Amino acid sequence: MARYHARCVHGLGLALVVLGVLSVAFGIATTAVLSRAWYPDPASYISAPVWSGLAVVATGILAVLSGKRPENRCLMIGLLVVAIVTTMLTLFCCLLTIVEAHLAGRCVTAAFPSYTITGFKINHTTGGHNYTIIDESPPTCSAAPLPLRTVCAVLSFTEAALGLAVSVMCCYGLAGQAVQQPVVYIPGAVTEREGGHVIVQTVGPPDLAR
């Protein structure tokens, strides 16, 4: 029969809390780095690792509480629902982060092929004419977001796997809980030694005129 492994769920909950905190930290760091970029990626402002990390932390806390109170069926149902939602959120975050990581190496020359950057000068060639634009601040085209997004993608994938494991264990626990069967009493035959009352039921009132 399926069992609810409370200690395993408790351990997975602690792991989810740690991973969720790491996702929030790396998500904030990635957004902070990209906000200073000369050509930032608009998708970076979604901060998907931050929001999914908060959901993972909430799931981990519920898993820890459910591991300490395995007899609480309502808590187990709530953990199942939250774990499924968190798994979908982390998978979406993982896919979005992979797409962003693929585009993280873009620079101004990739977005605008006709531009070339030399120090603080941006030279633009159109129709045989050269235009030099002096920029006050040097454009940042750092490769730092790429490893940060890679870490966020790995964390999101791990969180999705752990969330799926927690939801499966909750399903096993809910299916394995004993359901009280109704008790049916079947009366046996009356023995000769047992006393009884004779009940006579008439169809109508007796005819007193007779």
pLDDT, tens digit, 9 for 90 and up, residues 68-105: 988 888 889 999 999 999 999 999 999 988 887 776 55
Is this model's pTM higher than 0.85 or not? no
Distance CA(77)–CA(88), nearest Å, equals: 17
pLDDT, tens digit, 9 for 90 and up, residues 18-33: 999 999 999 888 888 7
Q: What whole-number percentage of the chain has pLDDT above 70? A: 58
* Band of pLDDT at residue 148, cut at 50, 70 and 90: confident
CB-CB contact of 173 with 70 (8 Å):
yes
CB-CB contact of 65 with 156 (8 Å):
no
